[in-house]
Chains A and B, each alone.
Chain A
Amino acid sequence: NAGVTQTPKFQVLKTGQSMTLQCAQDMNHEYMSWYRQDPGMGLRLIHYSVGAGITDQGEVPNGYNVSRSTTEDFPLRLLSAAPSQTSVYFCASSSDLYGYTFGSGTRLTVV
């Protein structure tokens, strides 16, 4: 099993550009989430989904959009990149909220 697959692994954007971070899981998990990880701040929830067609905002949603058209895919869109969005982004999925399976992350730099 591949688990949770994130692409790309690294990305450099210019301020104002948009892009989509891809996330796919093959475990038929209902719950999927996007987190960002910044030094000393732990993982902060951006958006989450409890099933196909259902999404909601987390702690730090501004500047990001998500959609969940299928159980497998949960892409994260940056609408207009800002330097404050420089971070490592993790996608995670869970079947029962007893534990997340995380992807290997996307390291994003906005210049």
Chain B
Amino acid sequence: TQLLEQSPQFLSIQEGENLTVYCNSSSVFSSLQWYRQEPGEGPVLLVTVVTGGEVKKLKRLTFQFGDARKDSSLHITAAQPGDTGLYLCAGLLYGQNFVFGPGTRLSVLP
């Protein structure tokens, strides 16, 4: 059983479309991170959210941390082929370590 669930597992969209991917858990996290991973490379940190209800924007990407600090979403506006990759969320459990979700594999077609 995964501590962090991500949905959808796969997503294929056309360039210019909007999308939202989700990261959910029954556990409370002290912080949550989103990473993007490209084939043959390690994950690259996109953002860290710390406060419940926090919203952060990174160009066309909007990240939200749930009020109860158990879930998060990533919204991409006007997706581009360069957004293609595996999106991973990772939650830091209080006094413990990071746990990673299985990822959402996004493909943006030109």
Contacts and interface: CB of A to CB of B under 8 A. Distances in A.
Q: Which of A33, A44, A105 has the most CB of B within 10 A?
A: A105
A45 B97 CA distance: 8
Main SS class of interface, A: strand
Interface residues of B, number: 23
A74 interface: no
Contact of A45 (B35, B40, B41, B98): B98
Interface in B30-54: 31, 33, 35, 40-45, 48, 50
Given A42-B2, A42-B88, A105 B101 contact: no
B27 to A, nearest CB: 14
B4 A42 contact: yes
B40 A104 contact: yes
Nearest to B31: A98
Interface of A: 4, 33, 35, 40-45, 48, 58, 90, 92, 97-105
Interface string B46-75: 001010000000000000000000000000
Given A42-B2, A43-B88, A92-B42, A100 B103 contact: no
A103 B33 contact: no
B41 to A, nearest CB: 6
Contact of A101 (B2, B40, B45, B90): B45
Interface in B1-46: 2, 4, 31, 33, 35, 40-45
Contact of B33 (A41, A58, A99): A99
A42 B101 contact: yes
Nearest to B34: A99
Contacts of B44: 102
B58 to A, nearest CB: 13
